[in-house]
């Protein structure tokens, strides 16, 4: 069996499963957020009754992160609905925007978008917060009401996005009927060359198979090239499996995984026991291809979908109005450090927005010093509009007052993960996906730019 098949077999209590089998899977963690949480709660109450209790209050993780720093009252109210549910159910893991469990959330636009407006327990973007807060464990089943839940496949677990109806069912029962996907194997060899990041790897892969090339399939990344990647890089790759239609992404377990998970579960006091799945000798793949990372170049996905692959150096004629770094995919500390490496001591030429994925990223950027200056101040000195309000922000467009939203037709290069029309706001805007290096170099020139010339 492949890694994903082994996870399905274990979670369904069977000794063997095959692609296409429909099996009842026991869920280890269910995550929801402010956009889908209220709908999920509504389904749960409708189907199980107003007084029903969730199947396990320690396995439900609720992370408001999407439409948070907006004056839109309906968006603010969604956070309040989550808080009421958490209080009613005694749910243990709720990363609220405010500290008062009986309060209500109102974003105050008069304080501006840049300065922190959240309490001590807020965790930022769900997919980045889940591992950081110790909720991703090898060998487990993690379901979330968000398509990029597949990011947790970096941790050798089955993780996928589900709809509100399925999530409502999981809330009541702790299980779900799922079809075992076929597995595509992406065997990575070689080392990433200068100027090439994990984002380039996944943009290259999606360009190879198309934005529907992995529809309802598991994308298994293995080989020495995969083991050489750190967890942030693996997360970036796993995050975008859905951009090829993938059901999930999965990486093998190794010491890098163990060190990350053990540290985060210990720090947060979350469940520390887990059992990884190891690869079998007789894995059968529907697709099997080797990718030599040393041959890759800085890559871009052009408008209008993540499969429109081009090399950054071939796109120099594309003029830009905006650059954006942020999201679960591209808003990690390592992403900002890469970005800062390029813009350090220079000045961006176009509007450039920086949105850290989590409050911890804000702290790390503000406390990491390069020659006596914080990385945060280096980014600000380069002209990047940095907000402390970690969230999804303009990755998903959002209400009109969302930080960085494309409110008119424009060309934007971004470290986020999805570029279908209207994704970041105005439906006539064009969004180009790229690595933090490439976004940074392009911000400096105002057109799509190969970052290697800035990396010495």
Task: Enumerate binding residues for ligand SF4 (CB under 6 A).
Answer: 66, 125-127, 146, 148, 327-328, 392, 395-396, 416-417
* Helix residue spans in 155-230 (DSSP H): 164-173, 198-209, 224-227
Task: Tell me how far, at minimum, the Cβ of 193 lies from ligand SF4, in Å.
Answer: 27
Q: How far apart are CA 423 and CA 398, in angstroms?
A: 9
| Shortest Å distance, C-beta 244 to ligand SF4 | 15
Nearest alpha-carbon partner for 412 in 332, 327, 342: 327
Q: Rounded to the nearest whole angstrom, what is the least distance from the CB of residue 124 to ligand SF4 in the complex?
A: 9
Quick one: 39 or 195, whose CB is closer to ligand SF4? 39
- Closest contact distance (angstroms) between CB of 144 and ligand SF4 is 9
Cβ proximity to ligand SF4, 188 vs 249, nearer residue? 249
Of 327 and 419, which has the nearer Cβ to ligand SF4? Answer: 327
Q: Which is nearer to ligand SF4, 25 or 415 (CB)?
A: 415
Kindly tell me which of 146 and 232 has the beta carbon lying closer to ligand SF4: 146
Reading the block at residue 330, the tokens are 């591209």
Q: How many C-beta atoms surround the C-beta of residue 50 within 10 A?
A: 8
Specify the 3-state DSSP secondary structure of 387: coil
> How many angstroms from the chain centroid is the CA of residue 372?
31
Q: How far apart are CA 384 and CA 351, in angstroms?
A: 8
CB of 328 to ligand SF4, least distance (A): 3
Residue with smaller CB distance to ligand SF4, 125 or 431: 125
Q: How many helices (H) and strands (E) does the chain have?
A: 14, 20
CB of 281 to ligand SF4, least distance (A): 36
Strand order in the sheet with 309-311: 309-311, 299-301, 430-433, 411-414, 322-326, 351-355, 385-386
Q: Whose Cβ is closer to ligand SF4: residue 395's or residue 406's?
A: 395
Alpha helix segments (H runs only) across 332-435:
333-343, 359-367, 375-381
Instruction: Give min distance, CB of 299 to ligand SF4, in A.
Output: 19
Phi-psi region of 382 (alpha: psi -120 to 50; beta: other; left: phi over 0): alpha
The nearest distance, CB 105 to ligand SF4, in angstroms, is: 18
Kindly list the distances between the CA atom of residue 106 and the CA atoms of 73, 93, 98, 101, 103, in Å, as whole numbers in the listed order.
8, 22, 9, 14, 10
Structure tokens at 85: 């549910």
Stretch (H or E) spanning 185: strand 182-189
From 175, 176, 167, select the one nearest 43 (Cα to Cα): 167
Question: Encoding tokens for residue 177?
Answer: 């009927």
SS3 label, residue 378: helix
Nearest to 413 by CA among 378, 386, 448: 448
Cβ-based nearer residue to ligand SF4, 188 or 390: 390
Minimum Å gap between C-beta 65 and ligand SF4 is: 6
User: CB of 88: closest distance to ligand SF4 in angstroms?
Assistant: 25
The smaller minimum CB distance to ligand SF4, of residues 223 and 307, is found at 307
Nearer to ligand SF4, 362 or 396 (CB): 396
CB 126 within 8 A of CB 94: no
Q: Note the residue count of the chain.
A: 456
- Using DSSP's 3-state secondary structure scheme, residue 126 falls into helix
């Amino acid at each position: 069996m492949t890694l994903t098949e082994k996870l399905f077999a274990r979670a369904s209590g069977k000794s063997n499963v095959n692609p296409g089998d429909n099996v009842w899977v026991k869920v280890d963690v269910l995550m929801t957020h402010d956009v889908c949480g209220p709908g999920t709660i509504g389904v749960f109450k409708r189907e199980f009754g107003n007084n029903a209790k969730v199947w396990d209050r320690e396995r439900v993780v609720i992370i408001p992160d999407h439409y948070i720093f907006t004056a839109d009252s309906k968006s603010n109210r969604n956070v309040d609905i989550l808080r009421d549910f958490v209080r009613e159910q005694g749910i243990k893991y709720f990363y609220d925007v405010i500290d008062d469990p009986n309060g209500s959330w109102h974003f105050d636009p008069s304080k501006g978008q840049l300065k922190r407006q959240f309490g001590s327990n807020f965790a930022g973007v769900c997919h980045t917060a889940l591992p950081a807060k110790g909720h991703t464990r090898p060998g487990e089943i993690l379901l979330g009401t968000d398509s990029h839940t597949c990011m947790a496949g970096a941790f050798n677990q089955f993780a996928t996005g589900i709809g509100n109806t399925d999530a409502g069912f999981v809330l009541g029962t702790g299980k779900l009927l799922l079809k075992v996907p076929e597995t595509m194997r992406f065997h990575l060899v070689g080392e990433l060359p200068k100027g090439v990041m994990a984002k380039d790897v996944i943009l290259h892969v999606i360009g190879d198979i198309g934005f529907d090339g992995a529809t309802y399939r598991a994308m298994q990344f293995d080989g020495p090239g995969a083991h050489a990647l750190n967890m942030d890089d693996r997360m970036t790759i796993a995050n975008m499996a859905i951009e090829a239609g993938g059901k999930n992404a999965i990486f093998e377990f190794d010491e890098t995984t163990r060190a990350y998970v053990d540290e985060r579960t210990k720090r947060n006091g979350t469940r520390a026991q887990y059992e990884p799945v190891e690869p079998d000798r007789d894995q059968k793949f529907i697709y099997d291809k080797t990718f030599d990372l040393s041959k890759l170049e800085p890559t871009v996905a052009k408008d209008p979908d993540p499969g429109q692959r081009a090399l950054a150096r071939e796109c120099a004629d594309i003029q830009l109005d905006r650059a954006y770094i942020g999201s679960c995919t591209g808003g990690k500390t390592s992403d900002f450090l890469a970005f800062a490496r390029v813009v350090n001591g220079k000045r961006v030429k176009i509007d450039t927005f920086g949105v850290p994925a989590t409050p911890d990223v804000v702290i790390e950027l503000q406390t990491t010093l390069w020659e006596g200056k914080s990385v945060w101040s280096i980014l600000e000195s380069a002209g990047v509009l940095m907000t402390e309000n970690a969230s999804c922000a303009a990755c998903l467009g959002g209400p009109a007052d969302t930080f960085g939203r494309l409110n008119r037709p424009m060309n934007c290069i971004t470290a986020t993960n999805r570029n279908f029309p209207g994704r970041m706001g105005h439906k006539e805007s064009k969004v180009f996906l790229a690595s933090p290096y490439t976004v940074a170099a392009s911000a400096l020139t105002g057109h799509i730019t190969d970052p290697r010339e800035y990396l010495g």
